[in-house]
């Protein structure tokens, strides 16, 4: 957010960067990216990209720039101090802006020195040791290290145990945007570290880069500054995908050769079998498409199972959860994120949540998926009934009012509906009856293992 108060001095500006931006600020201030100690400007970034050098000629592989939403910044930003704030509202670091430049239509690049805030609390603070402290303990002993972004597999633990017989092993756990929830990652790595001699587990807010080559190069710098040289013994993504697939079933014998028993206990608390796992069934579609009716029919059938249900209808949520919001794009997005957060909490506690909002924007639906899948599964059902059919039905008379201009920002008329390209099920109720549509969704849940049996046909 921007402090727009008129003052004689130039006030600081609170901004909410991505996990990568927050993590980079902490690591720069700790010396983890040495010799780089500041966010770089566009010209310096080009030179680093082209030549692998800082402006003073020092070799460095990847430019590190702070990327912020332009809408969060005042027009005159150079020379001002930005306070980087985390998702809980706590200040993490200050950046004094040396330069700023547009990146695309919505973002601004920022360069400048970084100063950490005192008493900043990081994730797993007891493990978040500074590079100098770690390096002092293993210097000169030939330490090797790994960046950990997912739980270690049994074969990887065995290989690391062999390395640990000779030299210290640094397990540098990514706490910024890891591939699994950070608490799961830390607990699983702690369980594995017990079997690795001379192992040290350190938490670092190093977020994955979009470019794998950048990630590898900057990760090597990070490990070096912590006092270890990189190891290359992690198995490909296919091995971890096999673990995730096996976790869907009740049969842990499939996991016996893939994951150590202590690590498996951690993973099972995170991802129980699908028959016990939290789930959100997320219906999306135009007003009048039939999504709420199909959702109610599904709930009727699911009440006959032993799963705990929570229903979050879009209209009801508007009255009870988001009564103060308008129908602007910003408020629509906020409404869907609120629904998604509630759904994610339902999933976290092992229940099934059924959501049936319009949810017209793909980006916001994607945010909901990320929130939910941190704790359980999400099944996206697109009720794809065409606009013409929805308008013909128009039970509430909303389309007629929208055509007359009485309802602004009405989805399908004066506001777009972005069709999903990631839907798990697509159902057009023009030619499919409601009971048949309900049966399709229920069949998908049974076949997927979230519901152990098909309930008898109820009043759907």
Contact assessment for residue 174 and residue 206, using Cβ atoms and an 8 Å cutoff = yes
pLDDT at residue 10 above 80? no
What pLDDT score was predicted for residue 120? 55
Number of neighbouring beta carbons within 10 Å of residue 373 = 15
pLDDT at residue 187 above 90? yes
d(CA 195, CA 191): 8
Quickly state the pLDDT bin for 234 (edges 50, 70, 90): confident
Q: 189-201: string of b/e by CB count within 10 Å (b at 16+)?
A: bbbbbebbebbbb
Superfamily of domain 13-116: Sulfate adenylyltransferase (3.10.400.10)
Summarised one tens digit per residue, pLDDT across range 24-62 is 999 999 999 999 999 999 889 988 888 888 888 889 999
Contact assessment for residue 302 and residue 272, using Cβ atoms and an 8 Å cutoff = no
User: What would the mean pLDDT of 265-270 be, rounded to a whole number?
Assistant: 94
Quickly state the pLDDT bin for 459 (edges 50, 70, 90): very low
What pLDDT score was predicted for residue 87? 81
| H helices present in 227-361, as ranges | 237-247, 261-270, 291-302, 314-320, 329-348
What pLDDT score was predicted for residue 385? 96
d(CA 220, CA 135): 14
Contact assessment for residue 99 and residue 90, using Cβ atoms and an 8 Å cutoff = no
pLDDT at residue 457 above 80? no
| DSSP secondary structure of 31-77 | TTTTT--EEPPHHHHHHHHHHSB-TTS-B-SS---EEEEGGGS-S--
Which candidate, 278, 261, 258, 259, places its Cα nearest to that of 270?
A: 278
- Cα three-residue angle 417-421-422, rounded to 5 degrees: 115
The dotted CATH code for 279-448 is 3.40.50.300
Sign of CA dihedral 176, 178, 180, 182: negative
| DSSP secondary structure of 95-152 | EE-SEEEEETTTEEEEEEEEEEPTTPPPTTGGG---HHHHHHHHTTTT-EEEEESSPP
Instruction: Enumerate the domain spans of the chain.
Output: 13-116, 125-237, 279-448
pLDDT at residue 92 above 50? yes
What are the C-alpha distances in Å from 89 to residues 17, 37, 425? 11, 25, 38
Which candidate, 38, 87, 91, places its Cα nearest to that of 65?
A: 38
- Kindly report whether the global pTM for this prediction surpasses the value 0.85: no
User: What would the mean pLDDT of 274-299 be, rounded to a whole number?
Assistant: 95
pLDDT at residue 6 above 70? no
Pick the CATH number of 125-237 from 3.40.50.720, 3.40.50.300, 3.40.50.620, 1.10.260.40: 3.40.50.620
Give yes or no on whether 125-237 and 279-448 have one common fold. Answer: yes
């Amino acid at each position: 957010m921007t402090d727009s108060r008129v003052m004689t001095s130039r006030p600081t500006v609170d901004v909410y960067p991505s996990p990568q931006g927050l993590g980079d600020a902490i690591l720069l201030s700790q010396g983890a990216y040495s010799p780089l100690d500041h966010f770089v400007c566009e010209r310096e970034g080009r030179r680093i990209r082209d030549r692998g050098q800082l402006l003073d000629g020092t070799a460095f592989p990847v430019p590190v720039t702070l990327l912020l939403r332009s809408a969060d910044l005042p027009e005159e930003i150079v020379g001002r101090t930005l306070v980087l704030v985390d998702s809980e509202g706590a200040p993490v670091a200050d950046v004094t802006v040396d330069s700023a430049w547009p990146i695309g239509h919505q973002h601004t690049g920022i360069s400048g020195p970084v100063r950490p805030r005192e008493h900043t609390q990081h994730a797993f603070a007891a493990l978040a040791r500074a590079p100098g402290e770690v390096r002092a303990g293993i210097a000169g002993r030939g330490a090797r290290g790994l960046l950990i972004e997912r739980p270690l597999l049994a074969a990887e633990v065995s290989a690391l145990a062999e390395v640990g017989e000779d030299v210290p092993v640094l397990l540098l756990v990514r706490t910024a945007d890891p591939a699994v929830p950070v608490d799961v990652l830390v607990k699983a790595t702690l369980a594995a570290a017990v079997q690795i001699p001379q192992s040290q587990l350190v938490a670092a807010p190093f977020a994955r880069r979009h470019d794998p080559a950048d990630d590898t190069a900057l990760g090597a710098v990070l490990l070096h500054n912590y006092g270890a040289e990189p190891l290359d013994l992690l198995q490909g993504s296919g091995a971890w995908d096999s673990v995730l697939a096996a976790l869907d079933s009740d049969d842990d014998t499939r996991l016996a050769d893939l994951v150590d028993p202590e690590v498996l206990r951690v993973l099972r608390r995170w991802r129980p079998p699908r028959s016990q796992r939290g789930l959100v069934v997320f219906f999306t579609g135009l007003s009048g498409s039939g999504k709420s009716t199909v959702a109610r029919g599904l709930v009727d059938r699911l009440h006959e199972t032993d799963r705990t249900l929570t229903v979050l209808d879009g209209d009801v949520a508007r009255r009870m959860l988001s009564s103060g919001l308008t129908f602007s794009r910003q408020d629509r997005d906020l409404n869907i994120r609120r629904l998604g957060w509630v759904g994610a909490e339902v999933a976290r506690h092992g229940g099934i949540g059924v959501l049936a909002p319009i949810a017209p924007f793909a980006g916001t639906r994607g945010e909901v998926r990320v929130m939910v899948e941190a704790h359980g599964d999400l099944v996206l059902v697109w009720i794809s009934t065409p606009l013409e059919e929805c308008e013909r039905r128009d039970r509430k008379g909303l389309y007629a009012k929208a055509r007359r201009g009485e309802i602004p920002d009405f989805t399908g008329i004066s506001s777009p509906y972005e069709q999903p390209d990631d839907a798990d099920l697509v159902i057009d109720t023009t030619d499919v009856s409601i009971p048949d549509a309900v049966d399709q969704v229920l069949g998908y849940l049974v076949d997927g293992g979230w519901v152990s049996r098909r309930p008898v046909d109820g009043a759907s």
